[in-house]
Amino acid sequence: MSNGQKPVTRFAPSPTGFLHIGGARTALFNWAFARHHGGTFLLRIEDTDRARSTQEAIDAILQGMDWLGLEADDTPVYQHANAARHVAIAEQLLAEGKAYKCYCTAAEVDAMREKARAEGRSPRYDGTCREGREPVDAPYAVRFKAPQSGETVIDDAVQGQITTANEQFDDLVLLRSDGTPTYMLSVVVDDHDMGVTHIIRGDDHMTNAARQAQIYDALEWQLPNFAHIPLIHGANGAKLSKRHGALGVEAYRDMGYLPEAMRNYLARLGWSHGDDEVFSTTQLIDWFTLDAIGKSPARFDTEKLDNVNAQHLNMADNAALIGETIALAPLLADFEAQLAAAMPILKERATRLPDIAADAAFLAAKRPISVDEKLQKHLNDDTRPHLQALSERLNGLTDWSTDALESLIKAYMDENDLKMGKLAPAFRASLVGNSRSPGIFDVLALLGKNEALARLNDQISA
């Protein structure tokens, strides 16, 4: 930071549903910015809507953040717990003449808006109670006295300078008639009290920024720095939907994506560092700046996510992948040594974690193995004699390595004027039972001599 101040950022989701991709990216940007500058990243659960907020949603948010590795630097703040503070600030503004009591009923406000629409104006509250209204024995809301002339200017780190004419704003409600504070007030008070210096959020909040800036000004509080990031669209350019990626973070976890790959891919949705597409979290922290965020909506592309995940799988620690694979396929726990030997091969072939588990399943198959119907036809009177001859030669092999196995089998093929495509399906049927596995030479080596020959002989004599 230019003035030496350490930034304080926050992620402030509403617990009314899962942690979706857009929210996860917002959290990531706040986290990465704070980490880049050695600052503080905070989490606030905006649960003032008690009717819609659920513990299940809160748990989903916390679990999603934990899986993504976006650890906050303090315990979460629950907004509803600060309601008394929010009310006190509204009453302060009321006492200072910067807010007023509004006795208008919901029906009266609706009528004002309908009249404005009929006259071709923006539907809004008309300020009936702004200059004082005879008190009545009825509930009242507290409205903010918004400036009616001049402009509100926001210097946005992503969008640039945003200027809004104050005459466009009506007097927003700070306290509802039941005494509960509104979102607009609560956000300002909490951000101030939490010491937030940078508000990084979706650009669907841009209109809120001007209104919130007016409240900051009325309270004579320092305005945070704003950075409104473009929303994420689907691959088709339309608003992100469940069909095009708008799923909860836990869905991507369950589909077998790595958290480091998700961090990498989400960072590239709207932010860039030159032409770098695949990078580590350490590199993300080193490189992340707000001026590298673009103004155009990013497009969520599952194929690109798969590509990034595949590359992170290939770079991942083998021991960690073994643990993840056994968690998906517990039967492999008894074959950990073979799985460890196979992992360098398996992870090169995989896109997601379940691919590794599926490709490794042959290690734990019980004899006689079940052969897929599509492969069964390759075990016939034409191929079985060759399998028998090869089994006899393999039985005499003392060096059971991939290279030695490949050399022996290719020599047999050359002697008999055969192509690998002729016998490979029969080998795969005998050793694996389906098409999910590494190459035949690797499968033979990983199974070990006794198991490999036993599986071959089961099918030769079948």
By annotation, the residues acting in catalysis are 242
E strand or H helix at 206, and its extent?
helix 206-219
The two three-digit tokens of residue 82, written as one number: 């600060």
In the chain, % helix, strand, coil (3-state, to 5) comes to 50, 10, 35
The two three-digit tokens of residue 265, written as one number: 């891919």
Question: Over 44-86, what HEC string results?
Answer: EECCCCCCCCCHHHHHHHHHHHHHHCCCCCCCCEEHHHHHHHH
Residue 41 sits at φ, ψ, to 5 deg, of -115, 125
Give DSSP secondary structure letters for 391-417. Answer: HHHHHT-S--SHHHHHHHHHHHHHHTT
**Angle, vertex CA 273, rays to CA 199 and CA 314, nearest 5:** 110
- In whole angstroms, give the CA distance from residue 304 to residue 189: 40
Are 214 and 170 spatial neighbours (Cβ–Cβ below 8 Å)? no
- In whole angstroms, give the CA distance from residue 82 to residue 192: 12
Cα distances from 172 to residues 146, 177, 330, in angstroms, run 8, 13, 57
- In whole angstroms, give the CA distance from residue 360 to residue 159: 49
Beta strands 8-11 and 40-45, pairing class: parallel
Pick the closest to residue 155 from 229, 227, 231 (CA basis): 227
The two three-digit tokens of residue 296, written as one number: 């155009």
Instruction: State the distance between the two ends of the chain, measured CA to CA, in whole angstroms.
Output: 74
Are 423 and 387 spatial neighbours (Cβ–Cβ below 8 Å)? yes
Give the burial class of 137: count Cβ atoms within 10 A of its Cβ; 0-12 exposed, 13-18 middle, 19 or more buried.
Answer: exposed
